[in-house]
A and B are shown apart, each in its own frame.
Chain A
Amino acid sequence: MEASHDAHAHDDHHHAPSGIGRYFTTTNHKDIGSMYMWFSLIMFFVGGFMALVIRAELFQPGIQIVNPDVFNQLTTIHALVMIFGAVMPAFVGYANWQIPLMVGASDMAFARVNNWSFWLMPPAAALLVGSFLVPGGAAGSGWTLYPPLSIQGGISVDMTILAVHIMGASSIMGSINIITTILNMRAPGMTLMRMPMFVWTWLITAYLLIAVMPVLAGAVTMLLTDRHFGTHFFNAAGGGDPTMFMHIFWFFGHPEVYIMILPAFGIISHIIPTFARKPLFGYASMVYATASIALLSFIVWGHHMFTVGMPAAGNLFFMYATMLIAVPTGVKVFNWIATLWKGSITFETPMLFAIGFVSLFTIGGFSGLVLAVTPVDITLHNTYYVVAHFHYVLFSGAIFSIMGGAYYWLPKWTGHMYDETLGKVHFWLTAISFNITFFPQHFLGLAGMPRRIPDYAPQFTEFNQISSIGAFLLGFSQLLFLYVVIKCIRGGVKAEAKAWEGAEGLEWTVPSPAPYHTFETPPAFH
């Protein structure tokens, strides 16, 4: 892939506007991308703080630090903050920064909408986190907001519903922007099957968001009318069906899992070829596998509900459909390994996170297959095995890719190389403490420890203590990431336009840091 950059050689003559007002009014994709990233990092620490309170409470049996109501509120808001406040905005930040650079567009298709999409997020986050301060505390129904608890809850449930509505609107507008940028704004000559893998994964993710965020919005709207306007969609006391909420919620909820992992696949598909110094193995199969995972995600929601009481045919269908997802996911994992095969591999920090991702995400994928088996799930449902499973998918999956991607593109964003030694220390601290935290939770789950309960039987104490020690190490290790990022922004070795020897793509043809305006004239894409 080559691109002429004569056309944008003078880009850096533009100067970014200054002053605080710049960030409120900016329509620049790089500014908005950075704001999403910082917002995500702040929410990551807010959600992480809640996780540490949860793990502190679980350090020993009995009730020590928070009462059971607050414990439930912490698990609920921890999940919502991490999903909607940390992981999703981080990937939208990547989309904002990278997609225009990767497809040779001057900006996102609808730059003002882009500004609005971002500025909807802080009020939504304030509603979520601020709900701890209202009478009765935050929503304690779990992030799934299942009735009847969510119908009975106080005003904090309304705040949570409003936050979900706002974040959903932001996601839908962001998705429309991303789809339009990719489909309409690509540089001439960049056909769909020549797009970078990250762009493909985001195109598919954006369609998933457009399909399922309105479903969540519909579900919580009906919840709201049940609470305040006399309807009985989900209220059994009035003839409604709480199980229907679960079906609608998980029709959103399962694709949501892929919304949080497909962009991660995209990032990893750039890091591994760069540091293996080989093109991505099986590009077309990667695209088709991503699309297959997305399509399958719509027909597996019932695997979250095996214990609800579905007909055997329903259980069987959802079990087999879920197992089917392992096929395209396996294609991707084998393609990454094949990319490494006979590569000229070096292990800079992004590559460490990428290999950590492939290894640990695969463990989460396998425990997902275990949970897909209906009779096994009936035993393991609502135990710590499930908690271990989805943290392997979401932390060592989504978060590892976000960290790896940050180290990979920081030179392009800041113009400086990050501190490689500190980056590697951060990776090893994170990888080791992550496993100390979450691997024992498999054993706790297999032994029958239920999730979302602040107390437990004494025989679970040792594994819980190991897990809590790991969690504190994991949490405080992330302060090192913050330090490395700030240090990189403030200075360091000057980064080349092509910061990594093996990197390919249009983003590496512009100077580092990327000028405020890029590709005002579309690049010639050969």
Chain B
Amino acid sequence: MRGGSRIRTVRELRVSILFLAIVAVLPYFVIVPYWRGVLIVAMYFALVSAAWNLLAGYTGQFSLAPAAFAMIGGYGSGLLCYHFGISPWIGIPCGTLAATVIGLMLGRIVLRLRGPYLALTTLAFAEIVRLVISNEYEITRGDLGLSVTPLFEHQLNYYYLFLFLLVVVQIGLYYLVRSRAGLYLQAIRDDDLAASGRGVNVVLWKTVSFAVSSGICGLAGAFYVHFIRLASPELGLILQTGLVIAMVVIGGMGTLIGPLIGAFLVQLSSEALREVGLSHMLFFALTVILFGRFFRSGIWGGIDFLRDKWETRSESKEIMEAGGSE
């Protein structure tokens, strides 16, 4: 890592707060309910992407199950609401808890696996969950999905609710990443053997990371289900996971702000492209390949790199002007 990872994280937090502040005033300019809805969906994806980024970008656990955990969270709340008429305000914490606990168990199980093995196991898990939900028609109403009660009447309430969640998650992730625990996670990502040699409890922190990430996915999914008023197995499709990966890779993996940039950029421009009549997914898939191939650190990585270059240049200029004294 290039120097000053802490300064880097602070900078990322500042930019994300600025970014979210802009999002907060957007409804005053965006009046059309459709586009407000698009922004809410973007915030949902930003939450899931941020959660996946914690796992894949910071801990190096390339899971293919974020969409499945969002689905678990959504169904946790949706089932309680549909069958027992329990208020979403109780159902959503239950859904989140369910996703966290299942994430904890899966994290514990896949502890020893890495790389392609981990990816395949989580993929299998995601498919099993989705197949169970679409097959258990008596309980989950299969592919039709559960219709659930909305949280609010007004769309703007959802908007600020999701914004609030995003701010909380972003600040929470900031404190997590810059804390000792965050350093443990990154040490595990870079080399888990060396990390455990240095006294990091690899088992514990890998599991914690998996559970926290799944919990955030579940939270996002639970709220999202009440926003679209439908819990359906489509939430957990592999293509949804693909979208999340695309967002994080485009924004910048392993950075706080990357998932935010990626989610908003992909979601908004895909709507814009749809209006023009182009296949937006084609465009993003190509972008993901190109970013993966040529700019591994995503958009934020590019910005950061340019900034670093500029700073070093101005620093060295100052040193030159001061007579080159070391």
A and B part of one assembly: no
